[in-house]
Amino acid sequence: MDLSLIIPLYNEEESLPELLEWIERICIENKYTFEVILVDDGSTDSSWQVIESLAEKKDFVKGIKFRRNYGKSAALYSGFREAKGEVVVTMDADLQDNPDEIPGLYKMITDENYDLVSGWKKKRFDPITKIIPSRLYNRTARSVTGIKLHDFNCGLKAYKNLVVKSIEVYGEMHRYLPVLVKQAGFNRIGEKIVKHQKRKYGVTKYGLDRFIKGFLDLLTISFISRFAKRPMHLFGTLGTLMFIAGFLAAAWLGGVKIYYTINNIPAKLVTQSPYFYLALTAMIIGTQLFLAGFLGELFSRTLTGRDVYQVEKRINF
């Protein structure tokens, strides 16, 4: 099979028929063998009924329904597991991602040998309250991750099948799929300017809180990418430095006390100095950080970050 399209959705009943007709036309024009995997992330409208109706009419339509809303990362991960196409393209279901971009993304994977091609919505039809935070977020992501993409969170992306089978998308990490791909050892990451369209139906499912979550996820992915397999390198180093600083401070206070005693110079008790308690606190915190690094090393060998989600229904698999 040439192409798998994975479309996570939440309450998009109105846009689905038009989106599927558009995708079908593009794929037939380009003579692709293809499948469309619609992942209903616990919609509360009639999205699943629409998917069932489409699947009866079009054999390339496949559906997965979650028992409740688990988030976009879980939806993408479940679609990745089922994808059979040589190239896997993801896109949103709200018609803001343009299916006309599919052939260009497909060629960049097959002809130019990219592992991942990420869309860049250079001209956006979003409110200014969404555009400005998004630009700040992407600039920060580029600086922290070292991956030079303009739009990390664009839903329109293309992957080699091997790539999606090699990564685990969990939590809210769909925003950092390029980072997960790079961590998995796939370094051919490209970018393509794509058309962005105004929302035609419904309302956006994302509020300003997603930028706060995005920043927190950026800290998480930055930490994971550097220290997930070696937490002792971070906590052990910090703990050792703090313990040494506290020990040296305590030794200095003790040395001064001994010097004053030998020379019969009146001096306060060491415990009366506030620096003694600062030194003691530093040594205690240093010890705790070191132990945290040690425990982290143990946990990193046994735990996985994958979320558990429940699929309620499946169609055409």
- Under 8 Å between Cβ of 243 and 282: yes
User: Pick the residue with more confidence: 3 or 170?
Assistant: 3
Q: What tens digit of pLDDT does each residue of 52-98 get?
A: 999 999 999 999 999 999 989 999 999 999 999 999 999 999 998 99
Residue 101: inside a domain, yes or no? yes
Q: What tens digit of pLDDT does each residue of 104-133 get?
A: 999 999 999 999 999 998 877 666 666 677
Supply the pLDDT for residue 295: 83
Considering 197, 228, 259, which residue would you say is the last residue of a domain?
228
Same domain, 34 and 116: yes
Task: Give the domain range for residue 282.
Answer: 231-300
Mean pLDDT, residues 227-246 taken together: 84
Nearest Cα neighbor of 156 from 197, 128, 126 is 197
Q: What average pLDDT is seen over the chain?
A: 86
Q: What tens digit of pLDDT does each residue of 257-284 get?
A: 888 888 888 878 888 888 889 999 999 9
Residue 134: inside a domain, yes or no? yes
Full DSSP string of the chain: --EEEEEEESS-TTTHHHHHHHHHHHHHHTT--EEEEEEE-S-SSSHHHHHHHHHHH-TTEEEEEESS---HHHHHHHHHHH--SSEEEE--SSS-B-GGGHHHHHHHHHTS--SEEEEE-SS--S-HHHHHHHHHHHHHHHHHH----S-TT-S-EEEEHHHHTT----TTGGGGHHHHHHHTT---EEEEE--B----SS--S--THHHHHHHHHHHHHHHHHHHSS-HHHHHHHHHHHHHHHHHHHHHHHHHHHHHHHHTT-----GGGSHHHHHHHHHHHHHHHHHHHHHHHHHHHTT--------EEEEE--
113: left (phi over 0), alpha (psi -120 to 50) or beta: left
Residue 104: inside a domain, yes or no? yes
Residue 308: inside a domain, yes or no? no
Per-residue confidence band for 215, with pLDDT thresholds at 50, 70 and 90: low
User: How far apart, in whole angstroms, are the C-alpha atoms of residue 166 and residue 186?
Assistant: 10
Place of tokens 């993409």: 149
Residue 312: inside a domain, yes or no? no
User: How far apart, in whole angstroms, are the C-alpha atoms of residue 137 and residue 214?
Assistant: 8
pLDDT for 28 beyond 80: yes
Query: Above pLDDT 70, what percent of the chain?
Result: 85
Q: What tens digit of pLDDT does each residue of 134-172 get?
A: 777 788 778 877 888 988 888 899 999 999 999 988 777
Q: What tens digit of pLDDT does each residue of 180-214 get?
A: 899 889 999 999 999 887 766 766 655 556 666 66
Same domain, 249 and 224: no
Same domain, 257 and 122: no
For the whole model, what pTM was predicted?
Answer: 0.73
State how many domains the chain has. Answer: 2
Mean pLDDT, residues 226-236 taken together: 75
Same domain, 219 and 240: no
Residue 313: inside a domain, yes or no? no
